[in-house]
C-alpha cells in the first residue's frame, strides 16, 4: 500500500484536475477519478477506474460484464477495499449502473469485514453501507436492504428518513414488532426526541400511516408469544427435546400461512416422532387440551409442523407447516 499524507488523499490525483476534496471522499466529484490507495495494482478493472477515469471503457464493461462477473473481476484485482468502495460510487453516480454498484459495494464491504486491518483512515464505512441500503431498497431486494441498514446503523447511521424506509421494509416481510421499534423514535416515543420535522412532507404522511398500521398489527398479533405456552405431549424416549421447538414464535407460524384465529385456538402440541438422526421433528397442534378425546385414528390436529433441527447445537434450521 502506498503511503500518502492526509492532504494528498484529499486532493484529486488526476494531474489535470487536482480538485481539493473534503475528508472522507472516495472519488473526485469534478472528474470522477477514484482516490486510489494502491498504485501498484495493474489490473484491467483498476486501470479503467483510473486515475484518470476511463468512462467510455467503464460503460463498455457495464454492457459486456454482468454484475457478478464484475464482482469477480474486482476480487481478482486484489485492489484496496477503500478503492473498491470508490469504484462502486462511480458505478452508481457516473455510469448509472445500480446492479453493478451493488455487487462492487458488496465485494469491498465484505473484504473490510473479513480484514478490518485493510481499512484506511478515511474509509467511509457508514456511507458505503447507507448507499448499499438505498440501492437495495430501490431494487426491491428487501431482506438484503434490511441487513445493510443495520450494518450502517452499527457504524453510526441515524437518520429519520432511513428509519421510515427500513420500517417499511420490515413491514413488508412481516417483522411488525421490529418495524415498530425502529419507527417509534421518529415520533418521540419511549423518551426519544421526535424527529418528524426532519422528514419531507410526503414521508411524514407515509410514516404516520405506517405507524398506525404497525400499532394495529402488533396489537392483534401474538408476536411475543411462543409455542411454549401450549401443553406438550411426547414419549420420554424422545428426550431431550430441542428448545427450538417450543421457542418458535407464533408470529413465525403465522407467516407460514396459519391464520390468527387458528393460532389463538391452540391448546396443546404432540411430538409424534423424530427422525433417527434427530434432524426432523414431527409435531401436531390441537385446539383442545386433550389431543386424544375424539378417539379418531390418524387425527393430526389442526395442522402439523415439521421442524428441521441441527442435532449438534439444537438450533432451528427451518420448518414447514403441513395440513
For 22-67, what is each residue's pLDDT tens digit?
A: 544 555 666 666 554 443 344 688 888 878 888 999 999 999 999 9
pLDDT in tens, 264-298: 889 899 999 999 999 999 999 998 887 776 545 56
Q: What is the pLDDT of residue 311?
A: 84
Residues 253/263, Cβ–Cβ less than 8 Å: yes
pLDDT at 262 over 70: yes
Q: What is the pLDDT of residue 13?
A: 62
Q: What is the pLDDT of residue 190?
A: 61
Q: What is the pLDDT of residue 33?
A: 62
Question: Poorest-confidence range of 2-11, 192-201, 210-219?
Answer: 2-11
Q: Cis link prior to 52 (omega < 30° from 0)? A: yes
- Separation between Cα atoms, residue 266 and residue 168, nearest integer Å: 31
Its sign, for the CA torsion 109, 111, 117, 118, is negative
Mean pLDDT of 236-250: 90
For residue 253 the three cell numbers come to 407460524
Q: What is the pLDDT of residue 32?
A: 64
Higher-pLDDT residue of 311, 72: 72
The helices-and-strands tally (H runs, E runs) of the chain is 13, 5
Of 310, 314, 322, give the one whose Cα is nearest residue 282. 322
pLDDT at 81 over 50: yes
Higher-pLDDT residue of 80, 38: 80
- Separation between Cα atoms, residue 233 and residue 182, nearest integer Å: 38
Its sign, for the CA torsion 223, 226, 229, 233, is positive
Q: What is the pLDDT of residue 209?
A: 95
Q: What is the pLDDT of residue 84?
A: 95
Mean pLDDT of 184-196: 81
Q: What is the pLDDT of residue 279?
A: 94
pLDDT at 2 over 60: no
Of 53, 59, 57, 55, give the one whose Cα is nearest residue 12. 53
Q: What mean pLDDT is reported for the chain?
A: 84
Q: What is the pLDDT of residue 108?
A: 96
For residue 17 the three cell numbers come to 484536475
Q: What is the pLDDT of residue 286?
A: 92
Q: What is the pLDDT of residue 20?
A: 65
- Separation between Cα atoms, residue 249 and residue 255, nearest integer Å: 10
Percent of the chain with pLDDT over 90: 49
Q: What is the pLDDT of residue 125?
A: 94
pLDDT at 79 over 50: yes
3-class DSSP assignment, residue 2: coil
Q: What is the pLDDT of residue 222?
A: 53
- Separation between Cα atoms, residue 125 and residue 130, nearest integer Å: 9
pLDDT at 6 over 70: no
Q: What is the pLDDT of residue 296?
A: 57
- Beta strand pairing status for 268-274 and 231-233? parallel
Amino acid at each position: 500500500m502506498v503511503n500518502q499524507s492526509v492532504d494528498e488523499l484529499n486532493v484529486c490525483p488526476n494531474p489535470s484536475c487536482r480538485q481539493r476534496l473534503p475528508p472522507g471522499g472516495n472519488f473526485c466529484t469534478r472528474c470522477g477519478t477514484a482516490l486510489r490507495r494502491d498504485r501498484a495494482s495493474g489490473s484491467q478493472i483498476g486501470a479503467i477506474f483510473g486515475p484518470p477515469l476511463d468512462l467510455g471503457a467503464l460503460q463498455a464493461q457495464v454492457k459486456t460484464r454482468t454484475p457478478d462477473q464484475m464482482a469477480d473481476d474486482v476480487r481478482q484485482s486484489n485492489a484496496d477495499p477503500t478503492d473498491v468502495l470508490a469504484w462502486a460510487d462511480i458505478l452508481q453516480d457516473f455510469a448509472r449502473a445500480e446492479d453493478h454498484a451493488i455487487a462492487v459495494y458488496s465485494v469491498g464491504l465484505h473484504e473490510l469485514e473479513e480484514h478490518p486491518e485493510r481499512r484506511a483512515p478515511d474509509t467511509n464505512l457508514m456511507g458505503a453501507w447507507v448507499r448499499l441500503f438505498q440501492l437495495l431498497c430501490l431494487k426491491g431486494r428487501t431482506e438484503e436492504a434490511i441487513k445493510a441498514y443495520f450494518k450502517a446503523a452499527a457504524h453510526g447511521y441515524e437518520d429519520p428518513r432511513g428509519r421510515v424506509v427500513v420500517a417499511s421494509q420490515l413491514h413488508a416481510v412481516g417483522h411488525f414488532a421490529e418495524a415498530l421499534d425502529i419507527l417509534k423514535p421518529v415520533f418521540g416515543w419511549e423518551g426519544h426526541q421526535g424527529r418528524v420535522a426532519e422528514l419531507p412532507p410526503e414521508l411524514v404522511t407515509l410514516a404516520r400511516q405506517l405507524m398506525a398500521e404497525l400499532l394495529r398489527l402488533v396489537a392483534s398479533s401474538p408476536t411475543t408469544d411462543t409455542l411454549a405456552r401450549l401443553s406438550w405431549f411426547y414419549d420420554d424416549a424422545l428426550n431431550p427435546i430441542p428448545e427450538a421447538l417450543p421457542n418458535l414464535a407464533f408470529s413465525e407460524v403465522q407467516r407460514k400461512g396459519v391464520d390468527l384465529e387458528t393460532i389463538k385456538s391452540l391448546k396443546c402440541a404432540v411430538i409424534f416422532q423424530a427422525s433417527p438422526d434427530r434432524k426432523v421433528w414431527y409435531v401436531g397442534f390441537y385446539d383442545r387440551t386433550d389431543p386424544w378425546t375424539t378417539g379418531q385414528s390418524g387425527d393430526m390436529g389442526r395442522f402439523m409442523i415439521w421442524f428441521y433441527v441441527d442435532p449438534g447445537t439444537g438450533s432451528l434450521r427451518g420448518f414447514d407447516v403441513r395440513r
